[in-house]
Chains A and B, each alone.
Chain A
C-alpha cells in the first residue's frame, strides 16, 4: 500500500453554513495500480486528490504516504515529501514557461537544490520512451498540447515517485493524443511499479484505469475494477439520476 486516507473529512466554513467537501472517506492505493477517481463537479474528487497529496489539510482524519503520516507535518516537510515521493500532471499550465524541456524535466530535482541523487540514465530512457529527444531544448510555448503533457509525464516520473497524481491530464488534448498519454501512464505504472491516482470526469479516460472510484457528495459511492467506457458512463448516469 502506498497512499492511504482514513476517516478523512474536509469541511469548509463552520456551523450552519458548513460544507462537507469530503465526508468520512477511507481509501487505499497500491503500487503498480492505476486508479481513476470519477464524479460530477463538486463531488469532492479534486479535494480528495489535494488531501492525498498533502496540498490541503483534512479537517478530520489521517493521510499517510508510504506509512508516514502527512497530517500535522510542517510546510517544509510536506514540500519535501511532494518533491521526493510524488509526481504531478495537471490539465494545463504544467510547465515553467521560462525553462526548456530538459530543465522542466529536471525541475523537481533542481528545486531540491540538487541534494538527492539523480539518475541520468533513467532520464535518458524516459526522454526516449516519451519521444522527446528532438525537443529537449525547446520552450513550452513551442510545443503542442500532447508534447507538453508528455514532458509533464517525464517530469513526474524522473524522480521515481511512489505515486503520481494526475488532474484531468487529458482534458486539453484531442482524442488520439489523450489516448497516447493515458496508455503511457498506465503501462509505465505497471512497469515501474508506482501508483497512479487520476481525477477525471471522462469515462473513456477512466477506462484505462485498473480501478475506478466514484465520488458523490464527498463520499465514495462505488469502487469497481477495470471497466469499459460504456459501463463507467452508465454508472455515472445512474449516480446523477438518483
Chain B
C-alpha cells in the first residue's frame, strides 16, 4: 500500500513551500492592477465618447462614472490587500522553523522582516507591471474593436491618461504594506526556537482585541445611522445622504472588526445547524486563528454584499415602479434598464470576486499544509482518509457558504436602506419600499459558494492525504 520513498517526497514539500504564496500574491496584484487600468480606460473612453457626441451633460457623466470607478477600485484594492496580507502571514507561520534557525545563527528579527518586505515590494512591482500592461492591451484592443465596428467614435482622443498611474502606484504600496503587516509574526520568533520545533502563537494580540472593540462600536454607530436613514426616508429624499454615510461607516467598522465579527458569525451558524464530529473539528480549526479566517472570508463577504446590494435595491425599485405605473409601456423599458445596471455591476465586481476566491483557496491550501502533522495524528489514531478529507471540505464549506450568506444579509440591508432612503418619500402611496430578494439570485450565490468550496478543498485534501501519516508525524515543521 504505502510504498513510500521518504526523502524525495520530503524534499518536494519543502521546495513547494515558498512558491505557491508568491505565485498567488503576484497573480492577485496583476489581476487588481489589470482591473484598475481596464476600468479607468473604459471610463475615459465612455466619457470622451459622450463628450464627442455632445449628448447630455458630459461633465456630470464623467464625474458620476469616475466616482463609481473609484468606489469599485477601492473595494478591489482593499480585497487584494487583505488577501496578500493573509498570504504573507500564513507563509510566515509556515516558515517559523527556518526563521528561528537563521535567528539562531545571528540574523536579527528586523533583518528577517526586511527580507519579506523586499519580497513584497518585488511582488508588487512585478505584478503591477504585468497586470497594467495586460489591462492596457485589453482596453486598447476593446476600444479599437469598438471603433472599427462603429460603436464608438473618439475622434482620436486619448483613453490613456496620467491618472491611471495613481491606482497602480497605490497597488504597489498596498502590496508592500501587506507583506510588512503580514510578516509581523517574525517578531514573535525567538532564536531558541531554532533548537526545537517552533510554532507561532495565535494572531489575537491584545492590541488587536482593542481595535476590534473600537471597530465594533463604529459598526454599531453605522447601523444606527442606517436605521435613522430608513426612517427619515419616509419624509425626505435627502435621507439617501445619511444612508450613504451610515453604509460607509458600517463597512469601515466591519473591516476593522472582521476578525471578531466573521468568526462570531460562523459560531452563530454552528449553534443553529446541528453538527457532527467532523463539523466540530472543522469549526474549531476556523475558530483557532480568527484573523486568518476573517481575512480569508472578507473578500467574499464584501463582493457578495456589493452585488446583493444592487440586486435587492433594483428589484425593490422594479416592484415599486410596477405598483405605481403597473401595466404601462414604461415598465418594460424600466426593467430592461434595471437588468442592464445589474449586469454592469456584476461585471465591475467580477475581478474582486475572482481575487477573493483565489484568496480563500490559497488560505485553505496553506492552512492545510501547516496542519499536516495534525492530520497525520488523526489518521494514526483511526480517522479514515475519507473523513480526513471531509474535515477539509467542511472547513471550506463553512467559509465559502458562511461568507456568502453573511454577504447576502449585509447586501440586503444596504440595498433596502439605500432604496428606502432615496425613494421612501417619492411616492405618496408608499412610505416603506418593498423588500424584494430574487430567489434565483440567492440560489445562484449559494451554488457559486458551493463550487468555491469544492475548488478550494479539492487540491489541499488530495495533497494532505498523499503524505503517509507516519511521515507527517515524524517530519519536523
B470 adjacent to A79 (CB under 8 Å): no
A97 adjacent to B288 (CB under 8 Å): yes
Interface string of B464-477 (1 = CB under 8 A from A): 00001110011000
B387 adjacent to A111 (CB under 8 Å): yes
Which of B2, B3, B373, B383 interacts with A79 by CB under 8 Å? B383
Q: Which residues of chain A come closer than 8 Å to B4, judged between CB atoms? A: 56
Which among B27-35, B162-170, B374-382 touches the partner chain? B374-382
Q: Which residues of chain A come closer than 8 Å to B3, judged between CB atoms? A: 57
Which of A57, A76, A84 interacts with B2 by CB under 8 Å? A57
Asked if A194 is at the interface of the complex by the 8 Å CB criterion, the answer is no
A12 adjacent to B6 (CB under 8 Å): yes
**Interface residues in B286-318 (C-beta closer than 8 Å to A):** 287-288
Which among B134-142, B277-285, B423-431 touches the partner chain? B277-285
**Interface residues in A93-134 (C-beta closer than 8 Å to B):** 93-94, 96-99, 107-108, 110-114
Which of B5, B281, B468 interacts with A98 by CB under 8 Å? B281
Separation in Å of the A52 CB from the closest CB of chain B? 12
Q: Which residues of chain B come closer than 8 Å to A88, judged between CB atoms? A: 380-381
**Interface residues in A67-103 (C-beta closer than 8 Å to B):** 74-76, 78-80, 82-84, 88, 90, 92-94, 96-99
Asked if A224 is at the interface of the complex by the 8 Å CB criterion, the answer is no
- Label chain B's interface by main secondary structure: helix
B1 adjacent to A57 (CB under 8 Å): yes
CA distance A137 to B380 in the complex (A): 24
Q: Which residues of chain A come closer than 8 Å to B209, judged between CB atoms? A: none
A74 adjacent to B1 (CB under 8 Å): yes
A83 adjacent to B473 (CB under 8 Å): no
Asked if B384 is at the interface of the complex by the 8 Å CB criterion, the answer is yes
Q: Which residues of chain B come closer than 8 Å to A53, judged between CB atoms? A: 380
Asked if A211 is at the interface of the complex by the 8 Å CB criterion, the answer is no
- Tell whether A97 pairs with B6 under 8 Å between CB atoms, given A90-B473, A108-B381, A111-B383: no
Count of interface residues, chain B, beta-carbon cutoff 8 Å:
32
A98 adjacent to B382 (CB under 8 Å): no
A96 adjacent to B378 (CB under 8 Å): yes
Q: Which residues of chain B come closer than 8 Å to A76, judged between CB atoms? A: 384-386
Chain B residue at minimum C-beta to C-beta distance from A172? B196
B374 adjacent to A79 (CB under 8 Å): no
Interface size, A (range): 20 to 34
CA distance A26 to B384 in the complex (A): 29
Q: Which residues of chain B come closer than 8 Å to A136, judged between CB atoms? A: none
Asked if B245 is at the interface of the complex by the 8 Å CB criterion, the answer is no
Asked if A1 is at the interface of the complex by the 8 Å CB criterion, the answer is no
Interface string of A1-42 (1 = CB under 8 A from B): 000000000001100000000000000000000000000000
Asked if A237 is at the interface of the complex by the 8 Å CB criterion, the answer is no
B385 adjacent to A98 (CB under 8 Å): no
Asked if A143 is at the interface of the complex by the 8 Å CB criterion, the answer is no
CA distance A113 to B470 in the complex (A): 23
Asked if B269 is at the interface of the complex by the 8 Å CB criterion, the answer is no
Asked if B447 is at the interface of the complex by the 8 Å CB criterion, the answer is no
Q: Which residues of chain B come closer than 8 Å to A83, judged between CB atoms? A: 381-382
Chain A residue at minimum C-beta to C-beta distance from B202? A141
Chain B residue at minimum C-beta to C-beta distance from A83? B382
Separation in Å of the B93 CB from the closest CB of chain A? 14
Asked if B74 is at the interface of the complex by the 8 Å CB criterion, the answer is no
A13 adjacent to B2 (CB under 8 Å): no
Chain B residue at minimum C-beta to C-beta distance from A74? B1
- Tell whether A55 pairs with B288 under 8 Å between CB atoms, given A92-B197, A97-B374: no
**Interface residues in B380-407 (C-beta closer than 8 Å to A):** 380-387
Chain B residue at minimum C-beta to C-beta distance from A53? B380
B382 adjacent to A99 (CB under 8 Å): no
Q: Which residues of chain A come closer than 8 Å to B197, judged between CB atoms? A: 92-93
CA distance A18 to B83 in the complex (A): 46
Asked if A160 is at the interface of the complex by the 8 Å CB criterion, the answer is no
Q: Which residues of chain A come closer than 8 Å to B468, judged between CB atoms? A: 55-56
B470 adjacent to A55 (CB under 8 Å): yes
CA distance A114 to B277 in the complex (A): 9
Asked if A50 is at the interface of the complex by the 8 Å CB criterion, the answer is yes
Q: Which residues of chain A come closer than 8 Å to B374, judged between CB atoms? A: 93, 96-97
Q: Which residues of chain B come closer than 8 Å to A82, judged between CB atoms? A: 380-382
Q: Which residues of chain B come closer than 8 Å to A107, judged between CB atoms? A: 378, 381
CA distance A46 to B380 in the complex (A): 15
B377 adjacent to A111 (CB under 8 Å): no
A93 adjacent to B1 (CB under 8 Å): no
A111 adjacent to B378 (CB under 8 Å): yes
CA distance A155 to B382 in the complex (A): 12
Q: Which residues of chain A come closer than 8 Å to B386, judged between CB atoms? A: 76
Which of A12, A13, A79, A94 interacts with B382 by CB under 8 Å? A79
Q: Which residues of chain A come closer than 8 Å to B380, judged between CB atoms? A: 53, 55, 82, 88
A79 adjacent to B379 (CB under 8 Å): yes
CA distance A112 to B382 in the complex (A): 7
Q: Which residues of chain A come closer than 8 Å to B469, judged between CB atoms? A: 55
Chain A residue at minimum C-beta to C-beta distance from B381? A108
Interface string of B1-16 (1 = CB under 8 A from A): 1111110000000000
- Tell whether A93 pairs with B470 under 8 Å between CB atoms, given A57-B2, A79-B383, A82-B382: no
Interface string of B360-375 (1 = CB under 8 A from A): 0000000000000110
CA distance A75 to B379 in the complex (A): 10
**Interface residues in B218-249 (C-beta closer than 8 Å to A):** none
B5 adjacent to A12 (CB under 8 Å): yes
4 interchain residue pairs of minimum CB distance:
A83-B382, A98-B284, A111-B383, A110-B277
Question: Can you list 6 A-B pairs with a CB-CB distance of less than 8 A?
Answer: A12-B5, A56-B2, A79-B385, A93-B377, A98-B284, A111-B384
Known: A111-B277, A155-B381. 5 other contacts (CB 8 A): A12-B6, A46-B474, A92-B197, A97-B288, A110-B277
